[in-house]
């Protein structure tokens, strides 16, 4: 018997499509450790929220392991790659509706001692992960 694939990429694609179908702007929040192509100064508490609408990115690919796209930062095109394990939320900018996820990557504190305290230690189950409060308000979809 083979193990089932992760449901996470399917949920991310579903929320993305729901946003597009409803004229909303899809945003993703990701951890720095699983993201390449984004300037370090854009991260706050080792996280960044990115607009992945078709007006902001080109060549968007959301597969079962990675999200890739090309976007511009200060007018300079950059290819961005995000491991799905680093995605902690996908949501609509307009309504705040979407989904949050427990991080699935190892997070090591950096030398500057500014590690994100909102991530639970490894010994605690990920099912108890609650995202930190902040500017984005996500609503439970029933």
pTM of the model: 0.71
- Residue 5 in 3-state DSSP? coil
Query: What integer pLDDT is reported at residue 103 of this predicted model?
Result: 86
Query: What integer pLDDT is reported at residue 4 of this predicted model?
Result: 79
Burial 88-123 (b: 16+ CB within 10 A, else e): bbbbbeeeebbbbbbbbbebeeeeeeeebebbeeee
Query: What integer pLDDT is reported at residue 2 of this predicted model?
Result: 59
Query: What integer pLDDT is reported at residue 39 of this predicted model?
Result: 84
Please state, as a whole number, how many other Cβ atoms lie within 10 Å of the Cβ of residue 5. 10
Token pair 């997070």: residue: 107
Query: What integer pLDDT is reported at residue 107 of this predicted model?
Result: 55
Bridge partners of residue 139, in order along the sequence:
97
Diameter of the chain measured on Cα atoms = 49
User: pLDDT 10s digit of each residue in the chain, 142 long?
Assistant: 557 789 999 999 999 999 999 999 999 999 999 999 988 888 888 899 999 999 999 999 999 999 999 999 889 999 999 999 999 999 999 999 999 999 887 655 444 444 343 333 333 333 333 344 444 455 555 5
Query: What integer pLDDT is reported at residue 94 of this predicted model?
Result: 96
Q: Which token pair is 39? A: 């300037």
Query: What integer pLDDT is reported at residue 112 of this predicted model?
Result: 43
DSSP category for residue 72: E
């Amino acid at each position: 018997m083979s193990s089932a694939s992760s449901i996470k990429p399917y949920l991310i694609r579903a929320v993305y499509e729901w946003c597009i179908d409803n004229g909303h702007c899809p945003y993703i929040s990701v951890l720095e450790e699983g993201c390449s192509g984004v300037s370090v100064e854009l991260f706050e508490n080792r996280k960044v929220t990115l607009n992945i609408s078709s007006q902001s990115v080109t060549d968007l690919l959301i597969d079962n392991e990675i999200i890739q796209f090309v976007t511009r930062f200060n007018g300079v095109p950059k290819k961005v790659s995000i491991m799905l394990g680093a995605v902690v939320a996908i949501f609509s900018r307009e309504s705040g509706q979407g989904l949050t996820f427990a991080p699935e990557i190892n997070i090591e504190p950096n030398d500057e001692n500014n590690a994100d305290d909102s991530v639970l230690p490894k010994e605690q189950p990920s099912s108890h992960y609650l995202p930190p409060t902040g500017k984005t308000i996500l609503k439970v979809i029933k």
